[in-house]
Amino acid sequence: MADTSREFYLSWLNDAYAMEKNVEEVLERHVKQAENYPEIQSKIQQHLDITRTQADRVQSCIERNGGDVSSLKSGIANMMGAVTGAGSSGAQDKLIKDAIADYATENFEIASYAALTVAAQSLGDQETAQICQDIIGEEHEMATWLAKNLSTVSQTVLQEAPVK
């Protein structure tokens, strides 16, 4: 029984790591796509830098628990790809779709780390529980920024759309 819950725990930590690596790739693309919008671009770049440190912190939790990240499952990463790769069209239109996908991703991450926090606490891994809480704060900050700025991004896209 104890072994099984440990295995679950380790596989959830691995999922979180795979998720961060996937988000990293997606945000790299979104930084490029926002090149004409410096304010949006710098916020995405800032969260990309944070995401890289999140992957490192989750990796340290995996290793402290006797796992390693070389044999990753990619189930969650693939699922995230399905969310973030949804739809494609013109460059301006892409900006709002990226923002919507990023908002969904941040909330997906928050839910994942909330579940991991409970697992870490119940297994007595306080260090990981604290790291998950710190990461939730960072994802929440980005989700809040996106929620506040979605309307601005949407208006910008519409204003810049060619009139027929």
List of residues contacting Fe ion (CB under 5 A): 51, 54, 109
| 91: Cα within 13 Å, side-chain hemisphere | 9
> What's the sign of the alpha-carbon dihedral 94, 104, 58, 131?
positive
For Fe ion, the closer CB: 146 or 157: 146
- Token pair, residue 74, equals 């990619």
Q: Are the beta carbons of 55 and 17 closer than 8 angstroms?
A: yes
Please state the closest distance from residue 158 (CB atom) to Fe ion, in A: 29
For Fe ion, the closer CB: 6 or 72: 72
Residue, CB closest to Fe ion: 54
For Fe ion, the closer CB: 6 or 69: 69
Distance CA(151)–CA(71), nearest Å, equals: 41
Please state the closest distance from residue 142 (CB atom) to Fe ion, in A: 8
Please state the closest distance from residue 146 (CB atom) to Fe ion, in A: 13
Measured between alpha carbons, how far apart are the two ends of the chain, in Å? Answer: 65
For Fe ion, the closer CB: 109 or 125: 109
